[in-house]
Structure 1
Amino acid sequence: MSTDNDLIKLYSQRILALAADIPLTDRLDAPQASVRKRAPLCGSTVTVDLDMEAGRITRFGQDVKACALGQASAALMAANILGRSRSEVEAGRDQLRAMLKDGAPPPLPPFTGYEVLEPARDYKNRHASIMLAFEATVEAMAQAEAEACA
């Protein structure tokens, strides 16, 4: 059973600050791809719009309706998303998942700062919300690449 101290640690000032200042929250007009992902357990949603050129994200916007942990994760990802390739975003996603599920270290640059979410490892019901921004972005990138090839 969680103690009050565990919850205080989980919702640290840093997490709350990230959640309050999410970058790139304006939806894009006429994006190449748009994907909405939902965490079924908690109902959190993230919608990602993006454009790509030469295999890299050139424009990005997101609408985040999630708990503070999901918002913090979306903020960390968006801070470094422009100019990223799909392989870089997939690596960040996979590293974040491994951090949460397997106790691996936080994601490597360019996706830094996720150590703030390490206390969430013990809260499996929050993992899907934390992963939403990465999951939506990877799917949107695949969608944009498919459209470019069509």
Structure 2
Amino acid sequence: MTATLYNRDILRLAASIPHQRRLDAPQASVERRSPVCGSRVIVDVVLDDDGRVAALGQEVKACALGQASASLMGANALGRDQAELSEARDALAQYLAGERDDPGQWPGLDIFRPARSFKARHPSILLAFEAVAEAAARATR
């Protein structure tokens, strides 16, 4: 069971989280925790004049699945606007819940296919995407 979840690709992503430092002067910061496993992610953002992520920082204290998700989010968040980040969050949540067959347009999220049947793991996988979408929304206000 867990061998399927924690495969080599997940562990590789978990070990290579980009932007893993807090920003000195973020426009918005959001912390998300999973009550199920205790995973925690803090995301800082700075948006450019067009409302796109110009700088990203994150602090990740999560299981390998949460770390892998933060890695995929961090690798592709720069240049995205709040609508794109919210769309990615929603698509991932729907994918994990079995409400759609694909994880959307965000690169690499299909790696979580084996986790779909492990509902207790979904909150940790969603943390980084929830945090970055909310941070971008707060920064645009």
Which entry has the higher C-alpha Rg, 1 or 2?
Answer: 1
Task: Classify the secondary structure of the residue corresponding to 1:102.
Answer: coil
Give the structure 2 partner of residue 87 of structure 1: 83
Gaps of 5+ in 2: none
The 5-angstrom pairing of residues 33-112 of structure 1 reads 33-53=28-48, 54-102=50-98, 104-109=100-105, 111-112=106-107
TM-score, scaled to structure 2: 0.95
TM-score, scaled to structure 1: 0.89
Q: Give the Cα–Cα distance (whole angstroms) in 1 for the partners of residues 140 and 81 of structure 2.
A: 11
Gaps of 5+ in 1: 1-5
Q: CA RMSD in A?
A: 1.1
The 5-angstrom pairing of residues 10-29 of structure 1 reads 10-29=5-24
Q: Aligned-pair distance for 1:98?
A: 1.0
Q: Which amino acid aligns with 2:30?
A: V
Q: Give the Cα–Cα distance (whole angstroms) in 2 for the partners of residues 131 and 89 of structure 1.
A: 12
Retained in 2: the 8 A contact 1:25–1:62?
A: yes
Q: Which amino acid aligns with 1:67?
A: C
Give the structure 2 partner of residue 141 of structure 1: 136
